[in-house]
Amino acid sequence: MTVKSTCAVAALSVALGGATSVFAQDVEVLHWWTSGGEAAAVSVLKEDLEGKGTGWVDMAVAGGGGDAAMTTLRARVTAGDPPTAAQMLGMNVREWADEGYLGNLNEIAAAEGWDEVVPPAVQAFGKYEGNWVAAPVNMHRPHWVWGSAKIFDELGLEMPTNWDEFFAAADAIEAAGYTAVAQGGQAWQEATIWEAIVLSIDPNLYQSALIEADPEALGSDQMVEAFEIYRKVLGYADDGYAGRDWNLTTALVINGEAGMQIMGDWAKGEVVAAGLTPGEEILCSVVPGTQGSFLFNTDFFAMFDVGEGKQAAQQNMAQSVMSVSFQETFNLTKGSIPARTDVPQGNFDACAQKSMADLAEATAADQLYGSLAHGHGQPAAIQGAYLDVVTAFANSDQSAADAAAALVASVAAAQ
Ligand code: GAL
């Protein structure tokens, strides 16, 4: 069926005679994958599509976490010129679908059996009012600690399993003259660390404070404790902290200048791009106290309703993104795990295999949560209210108690 529709598009393009591209059709894709590992993953997608006769027009908007990309996307749509497809995180999919801008992918989803292979938690974001509107390309896990094996071996350290061990390791690394915990001073990076700490205190706190926005949980003693731990973690950052991009922060661990980084597994994409083996030269463990739970964020490609002329290319792209072989190749490069459950695991590194096993365990135990920092917890405006408080805390000497109180007020004001 797909082969037929691709041929039909090629025939149409030849009949119209207007090809400026060697491809029957192009897709213009807006995304924020510009770091070394991310760009390598984009190439996998581009080549896969080109192999199927669909050209790639790149609309990359740099900026980890996608804030700048989402601003550009809004401007493009407002100007009446949406891209063919855009990378977006879970809540964004819902918001764009709610505004009526997204095309319907039901036909390809039904033909390819997406309902049977995509975990329900991911479907909850890829479907809107029962219709597939975006194709999930991966599952990222944001609560990892990445460690320099060189430094850990030199100092005889093990990757920490609780906060006491984490701070003891950090002290030893700092005493040896390295940066202990490499961090980048951008709101989304700060929130990535903070939400992992909240999860480590108690998954119920994560659920009630970050997913349900319960004011009691937001202002609770447990939340104060989370900010206290975060204050301690911040104390191990180096002088280059302010404004530093996440991939440059990862590079400090890769280069053996810093002992640890708390960051999502897109950092593993940098490790792979540097020619190193995750789990060997760069160690991985989940953030202390979060074993048993799984935070996730999924990158989707949503298709904008740009008229019938692009529909075949959009279907082609959605089909490519969701194929078993693509999900394997792409996620090996990206650092994430596949968004479908039937992809062979054998070629993945030890950290990804741990992620897959942990996902199954957390799903069975009902311990799977959407990442607030990465667009799977709250709508953008409310997410922003959380991030404002976290970054203000990180960049001042505010007390933990004051930060928890500010969180209650900020979230209430955004609702
Ligand atoms: C996340 C996204 C990942 C990764 C990261 C840093 O929000 O889901 O794919 O690229 O941002 O840019």
Mean pLDDT taken over the chain:
94
State how far the Cα of 288 lies from the Cα of 199, in Å rounded to an integer.
10
Ligand 1 centroid from CA 180, angstroms: 24
How many A from CA of 189 to the centre of ligand 1?
A: 10
In whole angstroms, what is the distance from residue 261 CA to residue 170 CA? 11
Question: Are 248 and 184 within 8 A, CB to CB?
Answer: yes
Asked if residue 4 has pLDDT above 60, the reply is no
Q: What is the DSSP string of 232-263?
A: HHHTT--TT-BT--HHHHHHHHHTTSEEEEEE
Interval between CA 266 and ligand 1 midpoint (Å)? 6
C-beta 66 within 6 A of ligand 1: yes
State in Å, rounded, how far the first CA of the chain is from the last one. 46
Average pLDDT over residues 26-31: 96
Residue 19, pLDDT score? 42
**How does pLDDT run across 101-158, given as a tens digit for each residue?**
999 999 999 999 999 999 999 999 999 999 999 999 999 999 999 999 999 999 999 9
Residue that is written with structure tokens 């490790």 in the block: 271
Helical packing angle, 266-273 and 36-51, nearest 10°: 90
Q: Is 65 in the pocket of ligand 1 (CB under 6 A)?
A: yes
Instruction: For ligand 1, say whether the CB of 38 is within 6 Å of any of its atoms.
Output: yes
374 ligand 1 Cβ < 6 A: yes
Helix (H, G, I), strand (E, B) or coil at 160: coil
How confident is the model at residue 47, as a pLDDT? 95
DSSP code, position 219: T
Please check the confidence at residue 1 and state whether its pLDDT lies above 50: no
Name 134's bridge partners: 302
Nearest CA to ligand 1 atom 4: 266
Q: Which ligand 1 atom is nearest residue 375's CA? A: 7
Ligand 1 centroid to residue 108 C-alpha, Å: 26
Instruction: Name the more confident of 13 and 397.
Output: 397
**Does ligand 1 come within 6 angstroms of the Cβ of 266?**
yes
**Hey, what are 57's tokens?**
């027009």
H/E segment holding residue 11? helix 2-16
Across 62-72, b (16+ Cβ under 10 Å) vs e yields: ebbbbbebbeb
Q: Is 127 in the pocket of ligand 1 (CB under 6 A)?
A: no
Q: What is the pLDDT of residues 306-359, one digit of tens each?
A: 888 888 899 999 999 999 999 999 999 999 999 999 999 999 999 999 999 999
| C-alpha closest to that of 302 among 21, 67, 86, 26 | 86
Name the band, by pLDDT with cuts 50, 70 and 90, for residue 3.
very low
> Residue by residue, what is the 3-state secondary structure of 35-100?
CHHHHHHHHHHHHHHHHCCEEEEEEECCCHHHHHHHHHHHHHHHCCCCCCEEEECHHHHHHHHHCC
Joined tokens for residue 9: 């598009």
Q: Ligand 1 mean position to 70 CA, how many Å?
A: 12
Find all residues with CB under 8 Å of 387, minimum gap 6, and list them. Answer: 187, 188, 190, 191, 373
Q: Which residues pair with 30 in a beta bridge?
A: 59, 86
Q: Does 140 sit in the ligand 1 pocket, CB within 6 Å?
A: yes
Q: How close is the Cα of 188 to the center of ligand 1, in Å?
A: 10
For the Cβ of 64 lying below 6 angstroms from any atom of ligand 1, the answer is yes
The percent of residues above 70 in pLDDT, for the chain, comes to: 95
- In ligand 1, the atom with minimum distance to the C-alpha of 38 is 10
pLDDT of residue 309: 83
> What local confidence, expressed as pLDDT, does residue 199 receive?
98
**Which residues neighbour 168 within 8 Å (Cβ) at sequence distance 6 or greater?**
160
Reported confidence tier of residue 8, pLDDT bands at 50, 70, 90: very low
Query: What are the pLDDT digits (tens) for 180-236?
Result: 999 999 999 999 999 999 999 999 999 999 999 999 999 999 999 999 999 999 999
**Residue 297 to residue 357: CA distance in whole angstroms:** 17
- pLDDT at position 22 is 73
Task: Please tell me the predicted confidence (pLDDT) of residue 359.
Answer: 97
pLDDT-derived band at 12, boundaries 50, 70, 90: very low
Mean pLDDT for 385-404 is: 98
